[in-house]
Structure 1
């Protein structure tokens, strides 16, 4: 029997804004994870180090027991930092288990329900001058769906002039691509309740694939008004961190697409549970993923076994990744090859991502100090980014 006792945990903070985790076992089998909150990499790193006491010496194959201890072993639970630290550890443990049994993770989760997964990528949207150019780049790269910001910084009650600008970007794409390109619109929590319905009125004629985070997650109670107002599917969930965070929104039926992040919402173990909860409410899954290759592979393994998964985000080529993109840290980038808008079923053992550790170590010497930009309105008041 293979000895999977955990002997070491290492962390690599690398550009553009990522944190990689490596778990080593007695047998030499290693697993990779991405425990990070964008803009809080050092904080999550500290949390992982605090959790090491519960992990070192444990059998890496006991994934569920380790998850429960990491979550319930502290009196204070949940939230972005703890859940992101757990996420990266959980991803690495599934990677180890799959490698030790020589099967891909999706086989350990019950086996695939599909042989390929539809993908989309982000193209911006704040500036109409670059929308068409970026959309053509993504279409030429093989994508059949994109997502962009619906608006830049927006006042709590915006001028009619600013409201009228909002629909211009998606209008440009509809005129250029017709309905051959699916277009998601991310409100990014930039829009406050007084403006949501008015913006929907402007956007509805251009038929977006979905509207994401129409309000900030702390205002999810207002989704019941928005949901009744429009036929456009509502997506949310990238800033929700466990099944308990999703419980109320699923039960109230005010969303059509949930978007848990595999590096924030408890990893593969927890997001698979969240997906199953959503299926019981006839709600679909589209995991949030603006991060690196381990996070993307983790998303895909959950997608492959979730009947309600509809589309997967990828950050390949996203503007954050200038100089260091997803594929740059991989020895086998071909697993993420896009074919007619889809990534095919991953077949290698574990997560299937082979990390170029030499490249990772070199990039860790550079590190990063990425932080959210701080925006302000014309009057000096803080603006949501």
Structure 2
């Protein structure tokens, strides 16, 4: 149909969050879909205009599966490099475009909901978390600002007060990463008893003050060897974390399985994996209990749903990752509402109440620790015209024949 023909592919970037890239796709009827990816923004932008736009322009925007196959399987690479990130942003935009054409929310386009709302957990980053370019050897960047949502400073310094603040908002689940600085100093090869005691102190303090009220996940960012990760997990067991996340890198699946066998704590992995194929290996060959995936990195809505279905096939829990942008949050949330074994949607309240609202409208609704989708077509998130006019925004556009 002529009206569904893709006529414009644009990318948008903002100095407010330089790691983020938005992708906008318009069809001949003027309907517009919006996608997003995070990190390598300038590189992904170049790929989209130099490698993907020429393919998309003039094609039917409704052929989402076919475009995913071409961009990911035929023109892409394995992993979560620039091509995959670009394909993910385009896929999200095409699903959103379909939503705007039909007037239907994304969860309904996927075939309906398994639940009307889903629990959230707060990833305890601050307002400036991952706002600057990545720095080698550090997992997070950005200055502390010490406002009410500087949860990164909070878990490192006043974990009880942070937990109490979250509970007051109805959020009963949170994630912290107190081991990162030690991993940098020790290169992930060793941790002393004193270092371990200091690193686990926030987890211990929250457990002591709020046992039965607040559950805490322990993020390890893949920075440790098997024996050290196993030692950390065993030391954390008395504090009953709801999971340990990425204790070792997934370069060797036997390694992650060894950690799974060394602890009673559920192990979660997945945000660094691209496409469903490595997830199948993880599910078949390890004792990992919870699968995480990011729509902006792993192939968009199309592949996120496949990964969620794959996790359900193996009777494992699923949760979308979000520590990136408002569209990633919304897209993941719609899939989580749809997916059979989804248990959480991650969010960063410092972002949700902060810069997400500065750049977008139509965010999912989070109330009393639960998320529901905004009553809008597609994934729901839009960038208002007045935001686009700000000086810190830049736009690059490809059109047919231009």
Give TM-score, length-normalised by structure 2.
0.84
Q: Which moved more, 1:122-131 or 1:58-67?
A: 122-131
With over 3 angstroms needed to count, the CA separation of the structure-2 counterparts of 1:76 and 1:241, relative to structure 1, is: closer
In structure 1, the residue matched to 2:65 is 64
1:69-84 to 2 correspondences below 5 Å: 69-74=70-75, 76-84=77-85
d(CA) in 2 for partners of 1:31, 1:117: 25
Contact 1:12–1:364 at 8 Å: present in 2 too?
A: no
User: Is the partner of 1:54 in helix, strand or coil?
Assistant: helix
Is 1:359–2:401 an aligned residue pair? Answer: no
Structure 2 residues without counterparts, runs of 5 or longer: 126-151, 396-402
CA deviations over 1:45-72 (Å, ceiling 9, x no partner): 1121221111111111110011111112
User: Is the partner of 2:12 in helix, strand or coil?
Assistant: strand
Contact 1:260–1:288 at 8 Å: present in 2 too?
A: yes
For residue 43 of structure 1, report the CA deviation from its aligned partner: 1.3
In structure 2, the residue matched to 1:344 is 372
d(CA) in 2 for partners of 1:142, 1:32: 31
In structure 2, the residue matched to 1:290 is 323
d(CA) in 2 for partners of 1:251, 1:90: 27
Give TM-score, length-normalised by structure 1.
0.88
In structure 1, the residue matched to 2:132 is none
CA deviations over 1:43-100 (Å, ceiling 9, x no partner): 1111212211111111111100111111122274444321111111000100010111
Task: Give the alignment partner of residue 281 of structure 1, picking from 280, 292, 314.
Answer: 314
d(CA) in 1 for partners of 2:284, 2:111: 26
CA deviations over 1:202-252 (Å, ceiling 9, x no partner): 110000011000112224430111111212110000100111121210111
Contact 1:123–1:134 at 8 Å: present in 2 too?
A: no
CA deviations over 1:268-325 (Å, ceiling 9, x no partner): 000101111111111111111101111111001111110110001112315xx99x61
1:68-147 to 2 correspondences below 5 Å: 68-74=69-75, 76-123=77-124, 128-147=156-175
Is 1:331–2:339 an aligned residue pair? Answer: no
Structure 1 residues without counterparts, runs of 5 or longer: 368-385
d(CA) in 2 for partners of 1:251, 1:306: 20
d(CA) in 1 for partners of 2:109, 2:390: 33
For residue 342 of structure 1, report the CA deviation from its aligned partner: 0.2
In structure 1, the residue matched to 2:302 is 269
User: Is the partner of 2:46 in helix, strand or coil?
Assistant: helix
d(CA) in 2 for partners of 1:151, 1:243: 29
User: Is the partner of 1:32 in helix, strand or coil?
Assistant: strand
Contact 2:174–2:216 at 8 Å: present in 1 too?
A: yes
With over 3 angstroms needed to count, the CA separation of the structure-2 counterparts of 1:332 and 1:305, relative to structure 1, is: closer
1:1-385 to 2 correspondences below 5 Å: 3-14=3-14, 15-16=16-17, 17-36=19-38, 38=39, 40-49=40-49, 50-74=51-75, 76-123=77-124, 128-153=156-181, 154=183, 155=186, 156-318=189-351, 325-333=355-363, 336-362=364-390, 364-365=392-393
d(CA) in 1 for partners of 2:121, 2:374: 17
CA deviations over 1:339-370 (Å, ceiling 9, x no partner): 22101244321111232243144264489xxx
User: Is the partner of 2:251 in helix, strand or coil?
Assistant: helix
For residue 166 of structure 1, report the CA deviation from its aligned partner: 2.3
